Every structure is written in C-alpha cells, then in structure tokens.
Amino acid sequence: MPGRVVGYRFTDTASGRYAVYLPGVQELTPAVQDEIDGADLLLVDGTTWHDDELVRLGLAAKTAHDMGHLHIGGRGGSLEVLTALGVPRIVYVHVNNTNPVLLEDSAERAAVTAAGSSSGSTDWNWRSDMTAPDTALVRRLRAHAAQYHSAHPFHVRMNDGTLTPDQIRGWVANRFAYQEAIPVKDAAILSNCPDVGVRRRWIRRITDHDGVHDGREPGSGNSGQGGIEAWLRLGEACGLSRSEISTTGTSGPGCGSPSTPTSASPARGRGSRRSRRR
C-alpha cells in the first residue's frame, strides 16, 4: 500500500545476485513483479492462507487485504501468482499463527511444498538445491535470527508446552496491557492527522482492536468484536476473569524468566511486546 510499507532488494556485489524482501504486500502489481523478476530469492508476506481467515475465526473484522496483506492460497493468491514467475526460491515470512500452512500434515502445507516454496517460520528445506549460498550477507542475516522473539527462552518453553499455568496467565495478562493501548495510541495519531485519506485508512486500525460492535446485536456473533475482545476470551480460557485482566494496575515482565512463575497481575499498565502478527 503506497506510503505504508516498503520492500527491500539485497544485492551481493560480488556475484550480482539479489534477494527481494516484501514482508507486507497487498497486491502483486506489475510494478512489484518487475522488482521480483530476476531475483534468486524472494522473502514474501505469508500472513494468511485465506483472505477472510481472521474474520472466519472471529479474530478481526477485516480481511487480509483490508490490513494490507495478500493471502497465499486460492485464486489470485500469492502462491498462484508467484509460481508463474519462476523465482528459484520463495520463502514465506510473517506467517500468522492462524495460517494452516504451519500444520505439517495440512493440505495447505502440501500445496506450498509442491510449489517449491517454503515458510520462514521454521527451517523448512525441502529441496537441497534451494539452499541459500554461504555468503557473508547470508551469514549476517542468519546471525540476527537468534535475536528474534521466538528464540527467547520463555517463548521456546511456551511453544514446547512446558510453562506453568500461572506463567501462561501472566503472559496473557501482560500482553493484554499492550493490546489495550494500541487503539488509544492510534486515536491520538488520528486526531493529529490532517490528511483525510490517511485518516480513513488509519481508523481501521482502531476498529480492528476495538471492534465494530459488542456482540449484543441479534445475529452479530463474535465476528467484528475486535482483537481486544479476543484477548479477553483468551484470558478467560486460561482461567482469568475479565476483571483480573482489565482492572487498572501494572503488568508483569514481558517475558519473565521461564524458571520463575509470572504472576497474573491485573494488566492495564504499560504493555510489552506483541503476540499476534496482525
């Protein structure tokens, strides 16, 4: 989307080979495809498989396209478009945890595998001839991977299922403090923005979190209630009451030591890092 996201081209000056990095792309326009043409490696937005994935799950009121992302699967999806371009290696990045491509036995994973693509969320090397060259650039990029949040001991233990219930509750409560602050921050930005076009787009960020209704209207269901409501339901599923999650107070550490239980203190203070990748 113009003015909102950027892409990068990394060129190895010794060989002239280059990689293109597009972490957020709404449409693979002819201009974007021209930038991709000739690349040896493409790292591209893989947020969702279906355009309406988050809407289906009741997690957001907007489609992937509304949020500036092109879905992977189906007609007009990135897999269909990119397969025809003949890029030697395509790596999907920014994969949301709702995307079924993350499931090893899913039809979606099989479709990506068959297309010769891969997901950057895990070290999936299905074809040995697609291994990245051992250049200084590649080594520098890989060195940064150890700093990503998924490598933090707390997140490793969470993914392994070895955290205690109290640690999970503390994480949810602390993360809610961050989520709750997002629409307030966006409202402050909106109130100081003189561009009507930007305001029309930016307000979607508020409704994405606050929702467009509270679920009380007949037939409204969970869809459209927003991300904050989804986090409250997650907290309830973990054994926290809504008052414990949203009562004014201070949140605990963002990623407490995995050996020390994190208290589920009321979370409406200063938040920490993000959980949902959109």
pLDDT at 131 over 80: no
β-bridge mates for residue 18, sequence order: 11
CA atoms within 13 Å, Cβ hemisphere of 209: 18
CATH number for the domain harbouring residue 174:
1.20.910.10
Our measurement of the distance from residue 8's CA atom to the centroid of its chain's CA atoms, rounded to an integer in Å, reads 19
Q: What is the CATH number of the domain that holds 19?
A: 3.60.15.10
Please answer whether residues 229 and 179 qualify as being in contact, where contact means their C-beta atoms are separated by less than 8 angstroms: no
pLDDT, position 220: 53
257 lies in a domain? no
Question: How many domains would you assign to the chain?
Answer: 2
For residues 188 and 144, the model is more confident at 188
pLDDT digits (tens, 9 = 90+) for 57-87: 887 778 898 888 999 998 889 988 888 787 8
* 97 pLDDT more than 80: yes
Question: Does 133 lie in the same domain as 178?
Answer: no
Q: Which of 9-13, 123-127, 165-169, 254-258 has the lowest mean pLDDT?
A: 123-127
Nearest to 175 by CA among 254, 96, 112, 228: 254
81 and 56 within one domain: yes
Judge whether 164 lies within some domain: yes
82 lies in which domain range?
8-147
Tokens of 125: 């090397």
Query: Is pLDDT of 269 > 50?
Result: no
CB-CB contact of 250 with 263 (8 Å): no
What local confidence, expressed as pLDDT, does residue 70 receive?
92
The better pLDDT of the pair 70, 247 is held by 70
Backbone dihedral angles phi then psi of residue 202, each to the nearest 5 degrees? -70, -30
d(Cα 269, Cα 174) in Å, to the nearest integer? 9
Tell me the mean pLDDT in the region 229-252: 79
pLDDT-derived band of residue 126, with 50, 70 and 90 as boundaries?
very low
Same domain assignment for residues 134 and 164: no
- On average, the pLDDT of the chain sits at 77
* For the chain, percent of residues with pLDDT exceeding 90: 21
Q: Which of 147, 178, 203 is the last residue of a domain?
A: 147
User: pLDDT category, 91, cuts 50, 70, 90?
Assistant: confident
Helix, strand or coil, per DSSP, at residue 19 = strand
| 130 and 176 inside one domain | no
How far apart are alpha carbons 171 and 169 in whole angstroms? Answer: 5
**pTM for this one?**
0.51
Domain boundary among 147, 163, 185: 147
**Same domain? 123 vs 163:** no
In a domain, 196, yes or no: yes
Mean pLDDT of 104-131: 60
pLDDT per residue over 180-219, tens digit each?
999 999 999 999 999 998 888 888 889 888 888 776 666 5
